């Protein structure tokens, strides 16, 4: 939350929308999980289509 500019913008914007820090962290964790799943799933698909 302290290094990536997109994340910092997100974290400063969400409390203005009524979100708590806990909800913000939960959303960020979900986003990271989805990105990681897509990356791993794409890598698996690329190696298994031979």
pTM of the entire structure? 0.72
pLDDT at res. 43: 75
Which residues, other chains included, contact 23 with Cβ-Cβ below 8 Å and sequence gap of 6+?
14
Quote the tokens at residue 41. 């799933």
pLDDT at res. 44: 73
Question: What does the angle CA 26 – CA 30 – CA 36 come to, to the nearest 5 degrees?
Answer: 145
Quote the tokens at residue 2. 């302290």
H or E element, residue 32: helix 21-48
pLDDT at res. 48: 64
Encode pLDDT of 8-50 as tens digits.
Answer: 999 999 999 999 999 999 999 999 999 999 999 887 776 765 5
Quote the tokens at residue 30. 């979900």
């Amino acid at each position: 939350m302290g290094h990536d500019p997109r994340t910092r913008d997100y974290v400063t914007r969400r409390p203005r929308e009524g979100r708590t820090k806990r909800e913000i962290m939960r959303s960020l964790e979900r986003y990271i999980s989805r990105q990681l799943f897509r990356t791993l799933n794409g890598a698996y698909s690329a190696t298994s289509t031979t």
